Chain A
Amino acid sequence: MKTIRHLKIAGAALAVGLLAQTALSGVAQAQDREALMKEHSGGTMMLGAVSAAGTIDPHVNYTAEFWQVFQILYDGLVKFKQASRAEGYEIVPDLAEAIPEPQDGGKTYVFKLRDGIKFADGTDMTAEDVVASFQRIFKINGPTSGSFYNNIVGADKCLAESKSCTLEGGIVADEAAGTVTFHLVAPDSEFFDKLAVPHASILPAETAATDAGTSYIPGTGAYMIESYDPNDKMVMKRNPAFSEWSVDAQPQGYPDEIVYRFGMNEESMINAIQNGQLDWMFDPPPADRLNELGTQYADQVHVNPLAAFWYAPMNTNLAPFDNVKVRQAVNYAIDRNALVNIYGGPVLAQPTCQILPPEFPGFEASCLYTENPGTTWSAPDMEKAKQLVEESGTAGQKVTVVSEDTATSRAIGTYLQSVLAELGYDATMQAISPNIQFTYIQNTDNNVQISVSQWFMDYPQASNFLNVLLSCASFNEGSDASINIAGYCNEDIDAKMTEAMQTAVTDPESANKLWAEIDKAFMEQAPVAPLFTPKNVDFTSKRVGNFIFSNQFRWLIDQSWVQ
């Protein structure tokens, strides 16, 4: 376990280096924006990533890598505030003048559009574009069309027959008044969140109803894409038709040009940032460079918590994990500190034994599976775990852990294998290509017993973890798209989740209390073993100033300057 100790030291060094930096953030914001704009505007910002994230169609792409970029390219009716940390969870009006009040008991919303907003090709943004954009989500079989937007009246028809989608009765435009009216099948507490993600970006009405792939669709953002080649680079320039209408939603950016390069590996990107050839990299820095970064480049490193968790889903339909005692035993036995150290130490991760991440709506600190059950995890309880396994009578069975073939995931898989072996199972570990593992572990045909996975939120609502990952509806036997990897279906908790979502329409606070209970209820049944909450490490070049990290879409690219 030499590597682990090494990582621990690296993490500690990073921690020391970062202490000095925390005091500085936030100062720049208070200063006069206009003066800053004058002083720092201009230049070319160079970003890097190991590989591109596929299509740049905002209605199709479903990756953190490009959702971050879409923030400066596209707008929805509403948007997550472009602001620091938890403030980034706030929803602000964007193309709409204001957040509308619910009518008809939360089933109708009327958005009044702002005047004078233009797409990058110079045409005006109108109510017709809004309707066409929502039709397009269905026409191109958008990845979330069935999960986010199926609540709009007429969506069922669109899902069945996508090509002729009209959403008739669901979205009504009034061109003269400049309003768009949404009719929902049922009240939805997450309606605005779903409108604020890039999949609900408003595009010109004449946009073709096919995946745009590598060609740019004109947007309303501060920047536009000049060229994109997934095997080379993406070049973004200022959008000539843009004039700032809301600093919160779509602020003017500092750099004149942003170039996103693809194809370098992590090591060489770190070198390039140190040499000032690159300003930022998307991928997390490799663990063996953390020490160097923490000591020599501390003021260029930014560590922020992520709304995410690493977890081990246990297949509740397969032995031995069909027995709740075994699942609880695994939860008791895991030394989460060891896993945190595998990930890079306490600076980069935090142990957790619940599903919702800290600071998240509905989060209430609780830990059932620790030496002294309470709010936080302290130490594994091996005795209890062994006793539970004994009661279950499953010791000696064969168990295979399926992890991704990446350094971190493999190390975690190996650790879980050792825990299972210690509990008395005949445990093996199997690492498969990261590009297949996620779909592989979802399919019940592959009979995966326990795996290593991670989940990052789409928008800040408890249901985005609990309902998505563990509801009966998320479990589809024999399909590669079955995000309820544990295959856990509990009718009672399902009913409770429906209740929480209904409550949230009118009373988000009591809903969040319900979610906290649901989180706990799931953990009692332990279909998953939460491992830790990861943190995000951004490493920027010396010339990057005004680094702002939003909990929602991470670093606000164009709000930093390079000169």
Chain B
Amino acid sequence: MIFFATPGSDPAARIAGRNAAQETVQAIRKDFGFDKPLPVQYAIMMKKLFVTRDLTSFVNRGLEVVPQVMRAAPITLSLVFGAAVLWVFGSIAVGVLAAMYRDTVIDKGLMILALIGVSMPVFWLGELMNLVSQSRFHDTWLFSWVPGLGYKPFFDGPWMWFKTLVIPWFTLAALYIGIYGRVLRANLVEAYQEDYVRTARAKGLSPGRVMLRHALRMSMIPFVTMFGLDFGVLVGGAALLTEVVFGLNGVGRLTYQAMLNLDLPMILATVMYASFFVVVTNAIVDIIYVVIDPRVRGH
């Protein structure tokens, strides 16, 4: 509705091009069905999106939006999966280390680093990485291996794929390592006050085993919940800023471009895609609960 109410957004006039004759605009309006009532237009669009799957873009005429999203998905998935691996292992390491060496220099140092990671906007960090690796130090031994920006498919060569994505992965993961590391540390510190940890200690278990088998396991529950939410949203397109900065034409960028151009069919398709992943990841998170939390299994 907002789309159709925006002044200056008459899709027929925009499709017809600058200085188009009135007859042309009218003909295009009829051709694309913009003269039909809104509910009818909506129904036609939904039918094209789900049933015939041949919904085409308003901006790039003839471009079918469903295959377009399908093509962009692997890029976003590669980016977010890689970053997720980094941030899960990174933040567990940060959280566990900080909790084990609580109130020491290691703890304080790690928490300051985490805070810095949280505070750096991803687009700024990304541009900085680009400045360093693509411009200022590109010709030195340190960064001469960095390929030009853009995505290289995994099946065209996994090594190239890895090289193009490794900097984006770190950039995207920096924020999440910070957040998750801090949350995990707080949970672990709390868990150490719990009865079951005291019991475990009383049994004479080693500190490492107490930490990993008992404290960490329970602290992972809120961690996994957060992970599910963040991962779903990122795969759904929230990795936009990273994608734009590194020239990765993923779903986030596709959505962003569609929004800029008021490309309604494309927006519809990417929103559907995003909601799909949010639902799927939350379902997976629920299954993981069962694995890590014995209390959920009992009922």
Residues of A that sit less than 8 Å from B by CB: 51-52, 54-55, 57, 60, 62, 141-147, 150, 159-160, 162, 210-215, 229-232, 261-265, 267-268, 271-272, 274-275, 277-278, 432-433, 435-441, 443, 445-446, 468, 474, 476, 479-481, 483
Contacts and interface: CB of A to CB of B under 8 A. Distances in A.
A333 B68 CA distance: 50
A54 B6 contact: no
B22 interface: yes
B21 A232 contact: no
A142 B24 contact: yes
13 contacts: A51-B257, A55-B60, A141-B27, A143-B19, A229-B68, A230-B63, A263-B248, A275-B148, A278-B148, A432-B8, A440-B7, A479-B22, A479-B25
Contacts of B61: 54-55, 57, 60, 211, 213
Contacts of B254: 231
Contacts of A147: 19-21
B267 to A, nearest CB: 13
A435 B148 CA distance: 29
Given A55-B60, A146-B23, A443-B8, A480 B14 contact: yes
Interface stretch (B45-53, B127-135, B191-199, B230-238): B127-135
A230 B134 contact: no
A317 to B, nearest CB: 17
Given A433-B260, A479-B13, A480-B14, 7 more contacts: A159-B21, A264-B149, A275-B138, A438-B8, A446-B8, A468-B19, A476-B22
Interface in B245-299: 245-249, 253-254, 257, 260-262
Contact of A213 (B25, B62, B150, B245): B62
A254 to B, nearest CB: 22
B60 A54 contact: yes
A272 B149 contact: yes
Contact of B21 (A55, A60, A146, A210): A146
B16 interface: yes
Nearest to A446: B7
A438 B56 CA distance: 23
A322 B59 CA distance: 36
Contacts of A211: 61-62
A142 B15 CA distance: 10
A261 to B, nearest CB: 7
* Interface residues of chain A: helix, strand, loop or mixed (majority): loop
B260 A435 contact: yes
A162 B27 contact: yes
A261 B151 CA distance: 11
A319 to B, nearest CB: 20
Given A230-B60, A436-B6, A437-B8, A268 B247 contact: yes
A379 to B, nearest CB: 34
Contacts of B21: 145-147, 150, 159, 481
Interface in B16-43: 16-25, 27-28, 31
Which interface residue of B72, B150, B261 has the most chain A CB atoms within 10 A? B150
B7 A231 contact: no
Contacts of A272: 134, 148-149
A199 to B, nearest CB: 10
A496 B138 CA distance: 61
A511 B179 CA distance: 71
Contacts of B245: 265, 268
Contact of A263 (B18, B19, B28, B150): B150
B71 interface: yes
A474 B150 contact: no
B9 interface: yes
A146 B22 contact: yes
A524 to B, nearest CB: 25
B106 to A, nearest CB: 37
B244 A265 contact: yes
A481 B17 CA distance: 8
A18 to B, nearest CB: 22
Which interface residue of B16, B25, B248 has the most chain A CB atoms within 10 A? B16
A436 B9 contact: yes
Contact of B13 (A210, A263, A481): A481
Contacts of A54: 59-61
Contacts of B17: 60, 62, 143-144
Contacts of A433: 260
Nearest to B247: A264
A265 B249 CA distance: 11
B16 A481 contact: yes
A517 to B, nearest CB: 24
A480 B247 CA distance: 33
A215 B249 CA distance: 20
Given A213-B61, A479-B22, A435 B261 contact: yes
Contacts of A440: 7-8
Given A54-B59, A54-B60, A439-B14, A141 B28 contact: yes
A159 B28 CA distance: 12
A261 B152 CA distance: 13
Contacts of B72: 231
Contact of B19 (A215, A278, A474): A474
A480 B10 contact: yes
Contact of A436 (B8, B25, B31, B63): B8
B208 to A, nearest CB: 45
A468 B17 CA distance: 14
Interface in B110-138: 127, 130, 134-135, 138
Interface in B153-178: none
A481 B22 contact: yes
A293 to B, nearest CB: 13
B184 to A, nearest CB: 34
B150 A481 contact: no
B56 to A, nearest CB: 7
Nearest to B13: A480
B5 to A, nearest CB: 12
